[in-house]
Amino acid sequence: MSPSLILKGAVFLGATGIALGAYGAHGLGKLPGITPKQIESWDTASKYQQFSAVTMLSLCALSGNNILNIKHLKSSSVLIFAGTIMFSGSIYCLVLNKERFRSLGPITPIGGLSMIVGWLALLF
């Protein structure tokens, strides 16, 4: 994953995270059957997505320095991006239609683990 692709991934996560967070704050509760717990879950997904966007922007900024090994930076970025898509994406889907997307339930913790491993990849 090149620094340019890391930047594009960060921008994608940031822009969609803001849009989905705004929808969760202003529109989600208007859907029939949506509970406060579901809105809270949506908010968590949006926050983690934003954290990942900022993290990837930081990694992109560091890519020009010799602070991080470029191999570790790329691995970390891929793990954080993929983990965010799995974690936040599965939560969004489950909130919107739990029955239809029930099979995505196990994806949520896998995505979270991927994000954690992405952070740890920077150590090694």
pLDDT digits (tens, 9 = 90+) for 23-69: 999 999 999 999 999 999 999 999 999 999 999 999 888 877 666 67
Q: How many domains does the chain have?
A: 1
Contact criterion met (CB below 8 Å) for 23 and 43: no
Distances (CA, A) of 56 to 10, 27, 60, 104: 5, 28, 6, 25
pLDDT digits (tens, 9 = 90+) for 67-85: 667 777 889 999 999 999 9
| Percentage of residues in the chain having pLDDT higher than 90 | 79
> What tokens were used for 73?
């930076």
Residue 14, domain extent: 3-120
Is residue 1 scored above 80 in pLDDT? Answer: no
Chain-centre distance of CA 106, in angstroms?
Answer: 16
Q: Residue 33: which region, alpha, beta or left (left: phi > 0; alpha: psi -120 to 50)?
A: left
Whether pTM > 0.85 for this model: the answer is yes
